[in-house]
Structure 1
């Protein structure tokens, strides 16, 4: 099968020294559901260290239908360990509550391991007065300026969308959602077209550091390593507004246990490599490995949590 233009092959040496285990598979394809960016860059970092799992690793971008094309392809793939999904956890935990017709469910996959996590950040720009420095200040400004109380995200039905909707609901003001594709919302905040944006930290960090945007709160359970001076939503008075994007590896359901364990072992080994640690830091994500049973329990709890949040916002699932 031809590899798309967004793909890259990471080939290990063909010679395996005596005494080392033979790779599990000859060629393993890792599918991601986005155009080249953070997900495939993170996947490449890990894949480059998993030479004992596969002789050659190919990271293949399969954009389309908000990432669902890649997920569906892995659902129907061979269970020999040669096709792997690398995706944000929301593909599995949030999408079943957002789309009326979804061709897959969480039980169609075996969660192998997370590799990294990223919190999001609420930023404001020149449309919001400079003396608005905290989330409390911003909420007060939104109440006083309802026509300008807007927030941009990477799209309708994303966790970012629902975090903003819940903030408006909990704080008692109408927070108008303006959906974009990718990180474009940050640039419209910078230009003053919209008041604020809720985006992954890596999408706005450069603009925050340059002083073009002001970061008011992050959505993680603790302060971000990359924005240590910015309080969390919980510290700002909204503990319910926690949202962490975990990026993880999945295999098709019914993949044999020994293959799952082999992939998991390769991932954990890769995450200890200095090259992976420094690479993840450059992507503004934190290494966060949750594997096997703990990963499955995380998926179950996150699915329940997002179901409650989506229903609370009154969102009507789309096709």
Structure 2
């Protein structure tokens, strides 16, 4: 009898946890400084969850070590749903870039849901002699080694996109890393470097002001904000697509019922009119995928990044 009762309680516990969650404030760790796109997405989701569930969802910025500092904090937390992680696509690539083991994205974390994505934009200084990426690639081939790209950091989404363009286009240009998006964009606008790839939210305002020239978008289709700007695929790199995407994770071994509960609430938050309006200004497309679909997508991205990193010999340390 005691054994049967124990089994009943054990089976009921995860379900009860999912049904009662949350009954205290929830911390959402963002392993980057405040003000970036990852932080912005996390704050919109946190605000909607707080309103919908009547508990505080608090964004906790823990920058450092290319995003691994805050990520490891979540990995070592209790798997009770009260410490979560919002990360970007670089979360998948970072372990492949480092010589020492950092984390295993599948073993050390519970994938809850992909939140969504934003396209990246290939931009150049207005003085670059090309109206689009196709012409710019032709100029690079004519004078290999002359042109330079900037990036926010080694291993960032923008860096990986630049390496992909370089590799798939068989191009020769230097990629110069900076400490963040802002200084890299400043260098492009000042004419000190020629071009850059970065997420739409950071580049579009400078395109609209005329300080940057748009050459191509990295998404599979053209975007409504810049309908006349071709995709990278249209520019000669057939099948090219690389967006900056964002996801929500918890520590490893979170109960399935709790994971599903959080995914459901996040999907509801992303579907709200207010969230759609704010995130739409960033060019954000919401996904809110099921955990199993998110895991499959992560594995697909791991394979893709692994091939690119090996071919380009990219290292973070």
* Common fold by TM > 0.5: yes
In the TM superposition, what is the alpha-carbon distance from 1:53 to its structure 2 partner?
4.8
Q: 2 CA distance for matches of 1:267 and 1:172?
A: 41
Contact residue 74 and residue 83 of structure 2 kept, 8 A = yes
Unpaired segments of 5 or more residues in structure 1?
Answer: 1-20
Which stretch shifts more, 133-142 or 167-176? Answer: 167-176
**Are 1:152 and 1:178, in contact at CA under 8 Å, matched by a contact in 2?**
yes
Cα RMSD (Å) of the superposition?
1.8
SS of alignment partner, residue 100 of structure 2: coil
Alignment partner, residue 94 of structure 1: 93
Alignment of 1:1-319 (within 5 A): 23-37=21-35, 38-51=37-50, 53=53, 55-91=55-91, 93-107=92-106, 108-129=108-129, 132-183=130-181, 184-239=183-238, 241-315=240-314, 317-319=315-317
1:160-189 Cα offsets, whole Å, 9 max, x none, are 223323323333331100111222222211
Q: Residues 120-140 of structure 1, C-alpha deviation per residue, up to 9 Å, x if partnerless?
A: 1111114412xx112121012
Q: TM-score, normalised by structure 1?
A: 0.87
Q: Secondary structure at the match of 2:28?
A: strand
Q: 1:126–1:189: 8 Å Cα contact kept in structure 2?
A: no
Instruction: Tell me what 1:4 maps to.
Output: none
> Is contact 2:96–2:306 with CA below 8 Å preserved after alignment?
yes
Alpha-carbon distance in structure 2 between the residues aligned to 1:53 and 1:251: 18
8 Å Cα contact 1:125-1:213 kept in structure 2: yes
Change over 3 Å in CA distance of 1:272–1:168 after alignment to 2? closer
Give the C-alpha shift of residue 305 in structure 1. Answer: 0.7
Distance, in Å, in 2 between the alignment partners of 1:211 and 1:125 is 9
Q: Is the 8 A contact 1:148 1:195 kept in 2?
A: no
Q: Say if 1:120 and 1:220, in contact at 8 Å, map to a contact too.
A: yes
Q: Distance in 2 between matches of 1:304 and 1:145?
A: 33
Matched residues in 1 for 2:278 and 2:22: separation?
25
- Cα offset for 1:314? 2.4
- Aligned equivalents of 1:57 and 1:220: distance in 2? 31
* Cα distance change on mapping 1:204 and 1:266 into 2, 3 Å: same
Instruction: Return the alpha-carbon distance in structure 2 between the equivalents of residues 237 and 251 of structure 1.
Output: 40
Equivalent residues, number: 295
Q: Deviations over 1:15-71 (max 9, x none)?
A: xxxxxx755231100000111122222112111222455611111100001111111
Q: Are the equivalent residues in 2 in contact too, given 1:33–1:64 (CA < 8 A)?
A: yes
CA contact (8 A) 2:154 2:316 kept: no
